[in-house]
Amino acid sequence: MNEEKNEHRWGMAIDLDRCTGCQACVVACHAENNLPLSDPESAAKGRTFHWIRVDRYYEGEFPDIRVKYMPVLCQQCDEAPCEPVCPVYATYKNAEGLNVQVYNRCVGTRYCANNCPYSVRFFNWFDPVWPEPLGLQHNPDVSIRMSGVMEKCTFCIQRIKRAKEEARQEDRGLVDGDVQPACVQSCPAEAMVFGDLNDPESKVSQLAKSGRSTRLLEELGTKPKVFYLQRAK
């Protein structure tokens, strides 16, 4: 791990001018990351899991009204408000700038979720249940979280690892585009771009420099690594 320190700094750019609000990213994430299924009862209590969601905003009055969609996921903040409040270091920043969650360290204080300004952390109040044979779909690369554990978007860390392994087998370094989290991979409008912010040539670094680039609730000083490119015009 140490030799790779600071080699990568993963970030994402989301172009809201391309985003159609189709929610392909939301379902792709469920399929990739073994998210627990909700049911109407738990959903009514606000216990549905969506590591990425599409927020909607209304602007203006009918007939000059506009609706805007914005995919929101863990912003992988450099100054993450969730980290300092964890008493057991279950959530911390790894060498590649990912805000990671160590499930078997988590004791379920839920302080991190309370402190997250983006509401992207989800707590397992119960063990997840998949009526047979729905569980056959589970991705073996991602562990199933049990009750008492907090979870959130990982930037598909399993895909980062797989891409690194493949590159190592081919005796080469990672190239831009090798790593694609499930949401980015699925996006039909190609609104989402993932890559290494340490590489100034990477697509995500270029987009982050765009004049349309903003970050969500930047004024809080969280320094998110997700860049939103605002709609043009």
Partner 1 sequence: MDRRNFFKIVSAASASVATAGCGRKSDKLIPLLVPEREIVPGEEQWHPSVCSECGGGCGTIVRIMEGERTIERNGEKFRERIACIKKIEGNPLDPVSGGRLCARGHAALQSLYNPDRLHGPLRRTGDRGKGEFTAMSWEEGIGAVADKLVKIRSSDPRKILFLTNPQPGTRVLSIERFLKALGAPPALTCSIDSFAIERKAAELVFGWKGLPRYDLGQARYALGVGADFLGGWASPVYYARQFGYFRQGRPGIRGTLVQAESRMSITAASADEWLPVYPGFEPHLLIVIARLLMDEKLVRNEGQLSGPEAESILKADMRKLVRVSGIDEGRLRRVARELGESEAPLVIAGASIIHTNSLETLIAAHYVNFLLGNIGKPGGVLPPDPEPSDRSQTGNIVEALKRAQILLLDAENPVYSLPRSSGVSEALANIETIVSFGTFINDSAAHADIILPDHHSLESAAAVVPSVSPRPAITVGMPFVQPLYNTRAVEQTLADIARKMNVAFEPATPKNYVDPLLAGQRWDDVARQGGLWLDSKEQVAPAKWGGEQLSWSDPVLAGATERFPLRFQPYLSLQYHDGCGANLPWMQELPDPVSSSMWDIPLEIDPKTAAKLNIATGDWVRVESEDGTLEVFAYVHPAALPGVLSMAIGEGHTHYGRYASGRGSNPLSILAPVWENSTGALAFGATRVRVTRLERKPGELIQFSPRDREQGPWGYR
Positions that interact with partner 1 (CB under 8 A) = 15, 17-24, 26-28, 30-32, 37-40, 43-44, 46, 48, 50, 53-58, 61-63, 65-69, 113-114, 116-119, 131-140, 166, 177-178, 180, 182, 185-191, 232-233
CB of 89 to partner 1, least distance (A): 22
Closer by beta carbon to partner 1, 5 or else 166:
166
Closest approach, Cβ 6 to partner 1, in A, equals 26
Give least dist CB 117 to partner 1, A.
6
What is the smallest separation between the CB atom of 159 and partner 1, expressed in angstroms? Answer: 10
Task: Let me know if 138 is exposed, middle or buried by CB neighbors in 10 A (0-12, 13-18, 19+).
Answer: middle
Name the 3-class secondary structure at 161: helix
Pick the closer one to partner 1 by CB: 27 or 100: 27
Question: What CA–CA distance (Å, rounded) separates 20 from 123?
Answer: 29
- Residue 67 CB, nearest approach to partner 1 (Å): 4
Which residue, 15 or 97, has its beta carbon nearer to partner 1?
Answer: 15
Of residues 52 and 197, the one with the C-beta less far from partner 1: 52
The residue count for the chain: 233
| Alpha-carbon span 202 to 214, nearest angstrom | 18
Closest CB to partner 1 among residues 3, 132: 132
For residue 12, give the nearest of 211, 231, 158, 207 by alpha carbon.
207
Q: How far apart are CA 218 and CA 216, in angstroms?
A: 5
What is the Cα–Cα distance from 74 to 62, expressed in whole angstroms?
A: 33
